Amino acid sequence: MKVSIPSPLLSYTQAPEVEADGATLSELLADLDQRYPGIRFRMIDEQGAIRPHMRIFINRERVVGLEEALSPEDEVQILQALSGG
């Protein structure tokens, strides 16, 4: 399925849109990490939760849990919030 990658993570993928597989969001992120080592840690913390500055959408609906079911025609968009002062 199509996965949109935010600018801060382009150093991993070298492309703003990539393909990945998985029956759940957790499996999709594991597949992304296999294809682009280290990318999952930038999105998921040590407790297995989505990091506070990350937003993940499936078909334009925000998800908060990694066990969200996916189908091959879904579109996943990963966004990273900007912060600073």
Give the CATH superfamily of 2-80.
Beta-grasp domain (3.10.20.30)
Q: What is the DSSP letter of 44?
A: B
Q: Could you give the CA distance from residue 45 to residue 38 in angstroms, rounded to a whole number?
A: 12
For tokens 């999105």, name the residue: 43
Q: What is the pLDDT of residue 82?
A: 72
Q: What is the pLDDT of residue 83?
A: 63
Could you tell me the residue ranges of all domains in the chain? 2-80
Is the whole model's pTM more than 0.85, yes or no?
Answer: yes
Q: What is the pLDDT of residue 81?
A: 83
SS3 27: helix
Asked if 9 and 79 touch (Cβ cutoff 8 Å), the reply is no
Mean pLDDT, 10 residues at a time, the chain of 85 residues:
96 97 97 98 95 95 94 95 66
Q: Could you give the CA distance from residue 37 to residue 82 in angstroms, rounded to a whole number?
A: 23
Q: Could you give the CA distance from residue 17 to residue 20 in angstroms, rounded to a whole number?
A: 10
